[in-house]
Amino acid sequence: MDKPSPFQAGVNGRCPACGEGAMFDGLLKLAPRCDVCGADFESADVGDGASVFVLFIVGFLAVVLYLLMEVAFRPPWWGHMLVQLPFIPLASIAFLRPIKGLLFALQYRHDAQEARLDD
């Protein structure tokens, strides 16, 4: 059986080994193993990598949105707040799961592990 694309499996939250089982056990918690093929997910850990990517992506989008609103409408400061305050957390939540899944699937596919010093 061919392994699924890590990009497709990661963004869809599917097992990087079979592409069928669920990768997540909840909103952002990785499952201990695939419920279809039994692949072990304990060895890989994404850490804070997904959060860093989301921070940069959403930060960039928030600045672009601010500038577009300022040029097009020239709203008062509270007008920006009405748009930015819901946009930033909602965009962060929307991007975090797919990016975490993508990083995990790439890490799983390439068998990436913690760095270890040679004895």
pLDDT of residue 116: 79
**Confidence band (pLDDT; 50, 70, 90) for 101?**
very high
Identify the weakest region by mean pLDDT among 31-40, 41-50, 56-65, 102-111. Answer: 41-50
- Please choose, from the candidates 12, 60, 20, 59, the residue with its C-alpha nearest in 3D space to the C-alpha of residue 36: 20
> Across residues 48-59, what is the average pLDDT?
96
> Across residues 26-37, what is the average pLDDT?
92
pLDDT at 65 over 90: yes
Beta strands in 5-103 (DSSP E): none
**Confidence band (pLDDT; 50, 70, 90) for 1?**
low
Q: Where are the domains of the chain?
A: 6-109
- Please choose, from the candidates 116, 108, 112, 117, the residue with its C-alpha nearest in 3D space to the C-alpha of residue 15: 108
